[in-house]
Structures are given as C-alpha cells and as structure tokens.
Amino acid sequence: MIRRLFFLACGFAASTGLVQAMTMEAGDVGPIHQFQTARSSFTLVNDTDEEVKGLKITPLRPQDRVLAAPNRIAARGNVVIDVEVDAQNDLGSRGHTFRIDFDGAAVPLLGRVSVYGLSVLHDPARVLDFDTVKAGDSPVIDYALETDDPAVRIAAIKSAPEFVTVSINPDKRGLRIRHSDKSTWGKLTGLLKIQLDSSQQKEAWIPIHTEVRGDVLPSTTNFSLGVARIGQENEYILQYRSEGKPFKLDRATLEGIDGKTTIQNCTGGDKFCQQVRMLIDGNQRSGQLNGILRTHVAGYDRDIVVLTGGLLVSKDVKIKSLDEALAAQADAPKPSPSLNQALKSMSVTEKPVEAVIPPGNGPLLRWSVDNENLLYGYAIFRADSAQGPFQRVGDIVRRSVVSKQGVVSNYAARDTGAVVGKEYWYRIAMFYSDGKREFLTEPQHVKVKEGGVENSAAK
Amino acid sequence: MNFKKTMVAVAAQLLLVGGAYAQTCTPTAGVLNDGTGTINVNTCSSTNQLLSACNGLDAIGASPDTIYSVQIGAAATGSIGATPTGYDLKLALLQGTCTAGSTCIRDADNAGAGGAESFSVAGLPAGGYFVLLTSFGGSPDCGATSLTVTPLMPVTLQNFSIN
C-alpha cells in the first residue's frame, strides 16, 4: 500500500517555495493472535533532490518498537524502517502508527503497519454485562471459555475491575464473576484480564459492565455531551434524585475531560433533587471527549459514576444529518440517461475474481462468494467429526482487493497436512474486518485418497 | 456565546439548545431502517478537527474530518460504506449523541488510496451516532467521496467443493 506524504522542509522551501514529497509504503503484518508481537517494516522514499536529515521514528503505541531506522534519506533514495508491533488487544483490522520527525519538518508525518488481530476465543468482543444491579446485591456471572482448541486453559487472573471478584473454575475452562455488594454506584466498566495457557495467545481481555442503582440516581448514567465547541463555554446540567429521602452531593469531579463542576440545588426547592453543572473547557485538545463525572453522596459515603463524553469541534463546523442528506438526494430530480449511457451500462459485464490454485498435495477446497465487502478473509477449518471441534488449518486467505458487491469471487485453499486414508469434515470460516468470525459453509465430509478425495454428501 | 444543554430526569431525549442538531435517542427508524442511498461529498471542504480516532490508538494526522450525525434505528442490519477518489479513506462510526463518549464503535481503514471502506451496523443499539470520514494522512488526504448506506447484503455462498 503506497501512501504519498508531503512535507515542508523550511530551509529548502524558503529558497525555492516548493514542497518536498516523500512516499511511504505501509507495512502489513497480516493475521496474528492478540498479544503476539511481529516484525514488519515500512519504507520511506525521498522523492526530492534534497537529503532528508535528522530522521527520527517514534511509535505512538508504547508497546511497539522501532528496531532499525537510519537518521537520513539520500536524495532520491529510500530507507526501510524495521519495527516490531505488539497486537495487544487488537481485534480485526487495526493500524499501528509511527511518528516521523526530521530536520525542517513543519509537521510530523505518520508511518503505519497494519495488523489483523485474531483471538482464540470464539466471541472475543462479548461484553459480560450485569445490566442493572441494586446496591448491596452481589449477582454472579458464570463465564465458560469457548475456544477452537479444547486444550486452552485459564492460567491466572491478571487483573479485574474493582467492582467484581473473580475465581477460576476447577477445570480452568470457566470463571465465576461475583459483583461486589459494596461497589461504587452508577455505570461501571472495566476489563477482566486473564492469562491463558495457550501456545497461540498468552492473554485475553474481557469487558465487564454494570449499572449499580443506589438510593440516589442520576437522570442518566451515560451522559452525552453531543457536540461541544472550541472556544465556547459548553454548559451541561445533570440532575440527581432520590425517592423520598433528602440527600447532599458534596463533591463532583470530571475525569478525563477538562472542565469545571458546580453542585446546585434543583429549581423549585425540591429537596429530593440536586444537580451538577458542568462547564466543558473549549480550549482542550479537540476531537473525541471521553471521561466520567464522579460525584460523592454525603451520608452514604458513596461515589456515583456517570460516563460522559462527546465531540469537541470548531465553532464553524457544521454537522449535517446523514438522514436528511440522503432524503434530499432521493428527492432530487434524476437526469435521464442518454442512449449511449444506457447501452454502455448494458454492455459492461463484471468478470468474476478467479481463484489462485495453491500447489502441493492434499484436499483442495474451492468456494465462490458474493457480497464479501465486510470481510477480511477466509480459512479452512477441519475436524474429525461433523460435530467438531473444528480447528483452523493453514493460513487465512485474504479477500480479493478487487472484489465488488455483486461480483462473484472464487477462492481455493489446500489442506497439505491431511493424511491419506483419514476421514475429515471441512468447513470454510469467514473473518470479518472487525474481527468477528462465522462459518460460511456446513461441514463437508471427505476421505483422503492418493491424488484426491472421496466425497460424501454435505452433512 | 454560552449555549446550554440540559439533561432532565429519566433522559429519553437529549435537548440541545443552540446545538447543531437535535436527535431522539430511542428512534424506531433511521437511515438503515427506512432510508438508503448515496450522497456525494468532497471532504476537502471540511477542516481538521480530530487528531486521533478510535480510543486514541489510531492517529489520523491533520486530514480534514467530515462528520455527519446519523440515526440508526432498532434492529438495523445494513452497512455504511464510502468510496474515495484518489486518497486513503478512514471511515468510522462514533458514539456520541445518545451515549457518552465518542469512541469508535465501528471503523474501517483496510484499503489503500482510492479503496472503498465499509462497516456493518448490525447489533448496535438504536440511537444517534456520528459518521466520520477522514484519512490516515498522506497527500492527497481528501477528495470527492461517495457515502453509501445499503441494506443488509449477507455474504452469499455460491459454490463449495472439495477435490
């Protein structure tokens, strides 16, 4: 993947007024399991007649590393930047970004390495949600480990959110997660980090959510700031109420978002209501705002946590409604196609994407699909029985980059590890760009023979 | 200017006084329930607003950020996609108008320059979201873009054989 980067080299630009150009070829690690590291590289090409000096590459993720990088690029030359990326909790297609500084650069450039994060868990995006919990209660969630490889075990609990206690089941294939009866009130989220006994993945992070309802309730535990504006005073009010018992908030703080808070009585002298007025600082870093509002209830000695966030953008940015834009487009008069256009559209036939047949011996699996634009790729899964467990054999076959909706793509993959004389059940799995995995086909039974297979009906 | 936003008890609706939009947070319909289609936009007419996206892990440089608000109805199953002209598009769906935060709930940046990006909205809670069109960086980092909302088109298996 080639990305063209332009930069302003001040000294050069001062004399010529030109903008120098540099080309970046991004690295691509491909599929790796979460918490694995992999080496990759990206290339920087100096397209100008001036030498680039003082080159410095810095990973934006603290776990990533630059292994080797020269500090200059000759005129019309190129350099390869060797890096190591740590997938951490990446699921699906993710980018690992590196900041590129050099002498005279007006703004840093960015280099990138792509990763497709896999998990040994069947449903790695699953959230363990206690939903609504009455303060003082301690409900339990039992979590069963679901993996392709039945040998994977939970080795240890690395860390857990403070509102739960976690124990590992005796078979090390499950967890018992108990909600604390003394937890903070409000919307609580956290990650349960477990160490896995697996050759593929050493760790897994499981999100846990809960909403604890005490005697004092905020009007929402998920407070949207919507669109806040740079340079403006962005004011919000969140009310807290109790049922039949006066209360007092004595502390309110914003965490993760710059702003001020003031505790006020609600209008009308309602003694069962107080409110927090928030003034979001319009001069903080623009873009995404994500944080919490933490208030303390005197008498109960409990904090209430409310998730808070939104977007901070310039005053003049107009955020249009996509719904309205689509409606306007639909209402707009359509130009009548000319006869030539109509004939042209009729004569265009999209050719299917042909499969590349892998060399070697072993069962050759071939499949054809349409509407694959949300997919990253496919893989063969094999089992010794129709019921499984099915385990991946071979690499992930990347989706064709030229595939289009409505055009059939053909694929092929070979199981070179199959043993002649054995019977197997095969399925094709599809991997979505967001990391989700689903089976595309039902199990199909074959007996492996020299030079081919003996098929039976799909089961 | 001071504009005031007030959340009242049992907030089912966000009231934005002076805001650029007002959306219900429990929509029964939205673009992916009762409206689909394509709009054309030139992202170069936007300005840089976000330095990073998706929990701050994904730097997006100084590229122009085009932002739409969008209502996604209950049980929506379609997809949002965009095809850029000559630049490397990053397409993301951010929380933010009905739920706190602006984390990327969906994003796509798999193809290179000129490549189409898309994501599914299946499984999302009904509500208001932001659609972000931006770029990882490079030059050009913006351009003519078609933004398409399509109904669910499941991956369709045409043929499967083992030889």
Beta bridge partners of B104: B94
In chain A, what residues touch B96 (CB-CB under 8 Å)?
A: 224-227, 309-311
Give which of A373, A423, A448 to mutate to test B binding, by max B Cβ within 10 Å: A373
Fill in the amino acid letter for A359.
Answer: P
Give CATH for domain A128-213: 2.60.40.10
Q: May I ask the CATH class of domain A2-118?
A: mainly beta
Say yes or no: A363 contacts chain B, CB-CB below 8 A: yes
> Residue A373 is encoded by which pair of tokens?
């634009």
SS3 A149: coil
Q: How far is CA A261 from CA A2, A41, A121, A257, A264, in A?
A: 47, 47, 42, 11, 10
Query: Is A30 in contact with A116 (CB distance < 8 Å)?
Result: yes
Distance of CA A304 to the CA centre of its chain: 29
Rounded to whole angstroms, how far apart are CA atoms A99 and A8?
16
Query: Is B42 in contact with B35 (CB distance < 8 Å)?
Result: no
What pLDDT was estimated at residue A20? Answer: 47
Q: May I ask the CATH class of domain A364-455?
A: mainly beta
So what's the architecture of B26-150 in CATH? Sandwich (2.60)
SS3 B44: helix
Per DSSP, which regions of B10-126 are E strands? 15-16, 37-42, 52-53, 58-59, 66-72, 79-84, 89-94, 104-108, 117-120
Domain A2-118 shares a fold with domain A216-313: yes
Q: How far is CA A378 from CA A199, A350, B158, in A?
A: 22, 22, 15
Fill in the amino acid letter for A154.
Answer: I
Mean pLDDT on B55-84: 79
pLDDT confidence bin for B15, thresholds 50/70/90: very low
> For strand A233-242 and strand B2-7, is the pairing parallel, antiparallel, or unpaired?
parallel
Contact B30 A323 (CB under 8 A): yes
Rounded to whole angstroms, how far apart are CA atoms A184 and A190?
13
Q: What is the least distance, in Å, from the CA of B86 to any CA of chain A?
A: 10
In the CATH scheme, what is the homologous superfamily, with its name and number, of domain A216-313? Answer: Immunoglobulins (2.60.40.10)
Which A-chain residues 291-310 have CB contacts (< 8 A) with chain B?
Answer: 306-310
What pLDDT was estimated at residue B119? Answer: 87
Rounded to whole angstroms, how far apart are CA atoms A215 and A135?
8
Q: Terminal CA-to-CA distance of chain A, rounded, Å? A: 41
Cα angle A17, A18, A20 (rounded to 5 degrees) comes to 140
Share of chain B above pLDDT 70, in %: 65
Contact A309 B53 (CB under 8 A): no
In chain A, what residues touch B19 (CB-CB under 8 Å)?
A: 226-227
SS3 B159: strand
Q: Which of A301, A214, A208, A310 is nearest to A254 (CA)?
A: A310
Rounded to whole angstroms, how far apart are CA atoms A153 and A169?
10
Which A-chain residues 323-342 have CB contacts (< 8 A) with chain B?
Answer: 323, 325-327, 329-330
Contact B68 A311 (CB under 8 A): no
Contact A373 B118 (CB under 8 A): yes
What pLDDT was estimated at residue B58? Answer: 60
Beta bridge partners of A153: A197
Query: Is B103 in contact with A288 (CB distance < 8 Å)?
Result: yes
Q: Which of A267, A192, A284 is nearest to A233 (CA)?
A: A284
Residue range B97-150, pLDDT digits in tens: 555 554 677 888 777 778 888 888 887 877 788 899 988 766 788 999 999 888
Contact B67 A319 (CB under 8 A): yes
Dihedral sign (CA A58, A60, A61, A64): negative
Say yes or no: A370 contacts chain B, CB-CB below 8 A: yes
Count contacts between A and B (CB, < 8 Å): 273
Q: What is the ipTM of this complex?
A: 0.78
- pTM, two decimal places: 0.83
What is the residue whose two structure tokens read 């730097």? B59
Residues 6+ apart with CB under 8 A from A217: A240, A241, A242
What pLDDT was estimated at residue A322? Answer: 87
Domain ranges (residues) in chain A: 2-118, 128-213, 216-313, 364-455
Cα angle A190, A191, A197 (rounded to 5 degrees) comes to 165
Say yes or no: A169 contacts chain B, CB-CB below 8 A: no
Q: What is the least distance, in Å, from the CA of B1 to any CA of chain A?
A: 6
Residue range B95-110, pLDDT digits in tens: 765 555 546 778 887 7
pLDDT of B9 > 50? The answer is no
> Residue B98 is encoded by which pair of tokens?
């009905």
Longest CA pairwise span in chain A (Å): 88
> Residue A149 is encoded by which pair of tokens?
């490889």
User: Which of B46, B68, B160 lies at the smallest CB-CB distance from A441?
Assistant: B160
Distance of CA A255 to the CA centre of its chain: 23
> Residue A420 is encoded by which pair of tokens?
């002649």
Q: Which of the residues in chain A have pLDDT under 70?
A: 1-20, 107, 331-350, 401-405, 456-459
Contact B163 A2 (CB under 8 A): no
- DSSP one-letter code for B43: G
Element (H, E) at A88: none
> Residue B93 is encoded by which pair of tokens?
């769906």
